Chains A and B, each alone.
Chain A
Amino acid sequence: MTDVDHQLELDKAGANINSRWDAVLHFAKNYPLAVGGIIIVIMFVGMAIFADVISSHDPVQTNASLSLAAPSANNILGADMMGRDMFARIVHGSRISLVVGVSSTLLGGIIGVVIGLMSGYLLGWFDLIMQRIIDIMQALPLLVLALVMAASLGPSLENTILAISIPLVPRVARVVRSSTLALREMPFVEAARAAGMTELRVAFRHVLPNTLAPLIVLGTAQLGSAILVEASLSFLGLGVPEPHPSWGRMLSENAAEYARVAPWLVIFPGLAISIVVFGTNLLGDALRDILDPRQRT
């Protein structure tokens, strides 16, 4: 069904326009919040890629004379307890957030897609067992699950990613499974099967592309919440460890303690998290509107 909706949307957005620029303007007019989100996300990704160019300071280089230094021309966002430049740490911290966000989304997404497709296709025992496992995973709030996972795996970048990705699995699997169930009876899928395509190829060729829209919506939502969960885990002492300049870690312990003496330690990393998550949420909302037009007039 969604393929048709894509077309509708394209028609709607692209009606009577000739140049690409007009298309962009038209889109911006229809989805102003989405544009805001896109700009924030592009800046965030750009910051992560070009971190070394943007900031001339080394994010882990300590410096006795700059301990808790206030913002100045040299350290525009001040320096932390160890005299490390806050601007450099925030810029480089975007890498950690991006890596955690994207990898956990991809990892959780891929596992979820595989489970969902197999469940929807194989049905029977496999489906029954998978559905129960998914029920179990959904019986715990995301942060509780991530907390127990993070504690049992131990703190490291990889384990944090794993802990955050697992709660995504059941949601993706659910969506993919139900789309698969609906689609496998569709005429064009049956036709493909009749034409001699193997079940697996049918699944990947026809079923998966048609579930892409809801997956993208889920994925963007996960991106923002992954960044937040990473920050929360770090705050509770279970996230990405030092010396990685993770935004969440920057806000825990020391920063809170010296918040009154050096408020820049708390304000800037918190703002960075909020703005980026806000951006992904804006984008996610807009994507939901665009890709799931039942929710729009």
Chain B
Amino acid sequence: MYGKKLAVVAALSLFTAALGANVAYAQKSGGVLKAYHRGTPPSGSIHEEATNSTLTPYMPVMNNLVMYDQSIAINSLDTIVPDLAKSWSWSDDKLNLTFKLREGVKWHDGKPFTSADVKCTWWDLLLGNGGRKYKLRKNPRKAWYKNLKGVTTNGDHEVTFEFGRPQPAILTLLASGYSPVYPCHVSPKKMRTAPIGTGPFKFVKLKQNESVKFTKNTDYWKKDRPYLDAIEWTIIKSRSTRVLAFIAGKFDMTFNADLSVPLAQDVRAQAPTAVCERVMGASINLIVNQAKPPFDNANIRKAMVLTLDRKSAIQILSKGENRMGGAMSPPPQGVWGFTPEFIKTVAGFGPDVQANRVEARKLMEKEGYGPNNRLKVEVSTRNIASYRDPAVLLIDYMKEIYIDGTLKTIETSNWHATVARKDYMVGLNATAVGVDDPDANFFENYSCGSQRNYTGYCKPEMEKLFVEQSMMSDQKARAKLVLQIDKRLQEDAARPILYHNQNFTCKQAYVKGFVAHVNSLYNGWRMEDVWLDK
């Protein structure tokens, strides 16, 4: 019943979202949007962070060259619209991408925006060139621009990106909320503490554990935007408390994808007028340390993949709402993931878990394990419920194939360091990808030498396929190849995906003009079209 209702809601929201661009509202200006935030943002500098704690509140401060149409729920190459770039064009050899920039745009401190800002954002800051005195402290998305070989300006309002090989999908990365243009004259420290942008809202103040506030940019280059006078985020660390506060009507909006399935259910029951939209969260995956015996043994790794009961995990943790899939987010929200028909052809995803486990036990017995000689392993994971809960399930599933797991929880402060040191046997990890595009996902998580490729999976033939799909301009043909690549990744147990989380973003009915982007958490928060119908 509930599942059906959800599906209808999701379908309806997609429909209205698709229409969104054409529907003429009688928008009202003014008002303060009050939302809650889940914790103090680590900083205000989007380029230095890889978390929606920073991205969600700060995206309205900035502008991109291009962005995803804020009124369309599913991001793809087709939904990219101009932002600071008025237009863009590829050279004939598909190696150069030229942007014509908007004129008369001003940074929040009054300085003019020019092509030099674009060049220094990508060439100096992100690629670390140019010997500029300012450097980013952290640069988590360096891998996105591996193929960028140069940035040249032509006057104040034109800039060209030069690539080593054709990469049509680079636009999908540039359109992400993670790709804002930074001002050249502002130091990275200032960007972290009080960022300056060209966007519809100006940063006002951050109080740790209390609030972060933004006010309308009255001088915004898009003349009739934004509608809101201000956006105020109140920071509430305890999820139960903040959801109660939303139910009590204290907030206009929840944080980005903050609600799990049971919580969204609670909100719907208690605050029936609120509107909750389902969005794709992180994928929960297994990392197995192949350097540690006996996990260097392919049979044992295969047995571990076979014993996974994805359906029961999804049932337990999300009442059946989370989605089964491979590396790419599955449809209907995801553009590139396994379709329901295709998934049946992928090993280990079959419905008959018992049959899989019989096979898995045989593999284990072959390696000398059995009811009286059980393998003892430590399952490491981060000390956060969304990691811990599936880890407890994993231990349960491994029991079926003569493996006794004990849970080792690792504090957030140490989790990535532990993984980087390869100081674990079996780990449970969550991976969120900035953009629903294979270029972002494959190069970040499965490519040789990438920092986020935790298990060190590295196969030359796969590397070739990654590049091949990236160079294709026919997106339909590309999708077919991507399915095959993803299948290989799952069957190789590169990083077996247990499920894709489904989360919800809720707002009160009077909040209009906000469309939750369903296949990425990081692209739909410009907030310039949002208004309050009060």
In the complex, the answer to whether A81 meets B239 with C-beta atoms within 8 Å is no
CA A155 to CA B380, docked complex, whole Å: 13
Asked if B393 is at the interface of the complex by the 8 Å CB criterion, the answer is yes
Shortest distance between the CB of A269 and any CB in chain B (Å): 15
Shortest distance between the CB of A259 and any CB in chain B (Å): 6
In the complex, the answer to whether B263 meets A242 with C-beta atoms within 8 Å is no
CA A223 to CA B312, docked complex, whole Å: 40
In the complex, the answer to whether B312 meets A64 with C-beta atoms within 8 Å is yes
Q: Chain B 228-243, CB within 8 Å of chain A: the 1/0 string? A: 0000000000111101
CA A256 to CA B528, docked complex, whole Å: 35
CA A65 to CA B271, docked complex, whole Å: 27
In the complex, the answer to whether A82 meets B262 with C-beta atoms within 8 Å is no
CA A60 to CA B393, docked complex, whole Å: 10
Interface size class of A (residues with CB under 8 A): 20 to 34
* Chain A residue with Cβ nearest B320: A64
* Chain A residue with Cβ nearest B405: A243
Asked if A237 is at the interface of the complex by the 8 Å CB criterion, the answer is yes
Asked if B346 is at the interface of the complex by the 8 Å CB criterion, the answer is no
In B377-425, the 8 Å CB interface with A consists of 383, 385, 388-389, 392-393, 395-396, 407, 409, 411
Asked if A62 is at the interface of the complex by the 8 Å CB criterion, the answer is yes
In the complex, the answer to whether A82 meets B389 with C-beta atoms within 8 Å is yes
Asked if A135 is at the interface of the complex by the 8 Å CB criterion, the answer is no
In the complex, the answer to whether A257 meets B315 with C-beta atoms within 8 Å is no
* Chain A residue with Cβ nearest B319: A67
Asked if A241 is at the interface of the complex by the 8 Å CB criterion, the answer is yes
In the complex, the answer to whether B315 meets A67 with C-beta atoms within 8 Å is yes
Asked if B283 is at the interface of the complex by the 8 Å CB criterion, the answer is no
In the complex, the answer to whether B266 meets A81 with C-beta atoms within 8 Å is no
Known: A241-B407, A260-B266. A62 touches B243 (CB 8 A): no
Interface size on B, residues (CB 8 A): 29
CA A254 to CA B407, docked complex, whole Å: 17
In the complex, the answer to whether B411 meets A81 with C-beta atoms within 8 Å is no
CA A247 to CA B149, docked complex, whole Å: 57
Please give, as numbers and ranges, the residues of chain A lying within 8 Å of B240 by CB-CB distance: 256-257, 259
In the complex, the answer to whether B316 meets A242 with C-beta atoms within 8 Å is no
Known: A82-B389, A254-B385, A256-B238. A154 touches B316 (CB 8 A): no
Please give, as numbers and ranges, the residues of chain B lying within 8 Å of A257 by CB-CB distance: 239-240, 243, 260, 262-263
In the complex, the answer to whether A237 meets B383 with C-beta atoms within 8 Å is yes
In the complex, the answer to whether A261 meets B266 with C-beta atoms within 8 Å is yes
Q: Give how many A-B residue pairs fall within 8 Å (CB-CB).
A: 66
CA A253 to CA B383, docked complex, whole Å: 11
For the residues of A in contact with B, the DSSP-based class is loop
CA A257 to CA B315, docked complex, whole Å: 18
* Chain A residue with Cβ nearest B412: A237
In the complex, the answer to whether B262 meets A261 with C-beta atoms within 8 Å is yes
CA A257 to CA B263, docked complex, whole Å: 7
Asked if A61 is at the interface of the complex by the 8 Å CB criterion, the answer is yes
Please give, as numbers and ranges, the residues of chain B lying within 8 Å of A155 by CB-CB distance: 383, 409, 411
Known: A155-B411, A253-B385. A62 touches B260 (CB 8 A): no
CA A259 to CA B244, docked complex, whole Å: 10
Please give, as numbers and ranges, the residues of chain A lying within 8 Å of B312 by CB-CB distance: 64
Most buried by B among A61, A63, A242: A242
Please give, as numbers and ranges, the residues of chain B lying within 8 Å of A256 by CB-CB distance: 238-241
* Chain B residue with Cβ nearest A237: B383
In the complex, the answer to whether A83 meets B316 with C-beta atoms within 8 Å is yes
In the complex, the answer to whether A242 meets B388 with C-beta atoms within 8 Å is yes
Please give, as numbers and ranges, the residues of chain A lying within 8 Å of B154 by CB-CB distance: none
In the complex, the answer to whether A62 meets B407 with C-beta atoms within 8 Å is no
Please give, as numbers and ranges, the residues of chain B lying within 8 Å of A60 by CB-CB distance: 392, 396
> Can you list 14 A-B contacts (CB < 8 A)?
A60-B392, A62-B392, A63-B316, A64-B313, A65-B315, A68-B262, A82-B389, A242-B409, A253-B385, A256-B238, A256-B240, A257-B243, A258-B263, A261-B265
Ordered nearest first, which 4 A-B pairs have the shortest CB separation?
A: A256-B240, A64-B312, A241-B409, A64-B315
Listed in ascending order, the chain A residues whose CB lies under 8 Å from chain B are 60-65, 67-68, 81-83, 154-155, 237, 241-243, 253-254, 256-261
